[in-house]
Amino acid sequence: MATRQFIPCKLVPSPLHKVRNNDGKIPRELFTKENKLLLKGGERWMKHTTNSCMIVATLIATMVFVVGFTVPGSNNGDNGIPILLKLNGFMVFVISDAGTPVQAVWTCQKP
């Protein structure tokens, strides 16, 4: 008689959760044993992805910090208010610059 292969426990109907195959394993035990290598590969991939995201987030944060203190068009020497403050493009710049850190963190959180 051939050995029965089980599919992951989520897909196995409840009454079959405790049924053992010819090797004496229930579906969860078989699934865990068969996918140990896949688990190790997933852990390595996750660590690599996390490191890459942290590097990108650090670079973005650095650029946002620099850009936040370097106002385009410079400042009025008398009162320190940006010269381009009344232009719509400047307001778009300010809003996008303020939202960039949030967007950088959100991008790194997505799977």
The answer to whether residues 75 and 27 belong to one domain is no
Q: Are residues 52 and 93 in the same domain?
A: yes
19 in the same domain as 60 = no
Minimal CA–CA distance to 63: which of 108, 104, 92? 104
Query: Considering Cα of 22, then 24, then 27, then 32, what sign does the dihedral take?
Result: negative
**Domain span holding position 11:** 1-34
| Count: domains in the chain | 2
53/89 same-domain check: yes
104 within some domain: yes
Q: Are residues 11 and 53 in the same domain?
A: no
**Within a domain: residue 39?**
no
Per-residue pLDDT of the chain (111 residues; tens, 9 = 90+): 445 554 554 666 667 767 877 788 887 787 788 888 888 888 888 888 888 888 888 888 788 777 766 777 777 777 877 778 788 888 888 888 778 777 777 776 655
Whether the model pTM is above 0.75? no
| Buried b or exposed e, range 52-75, using 16+ CB within 10 angstroms | ebeeebeebeeebeeeeeebeeee
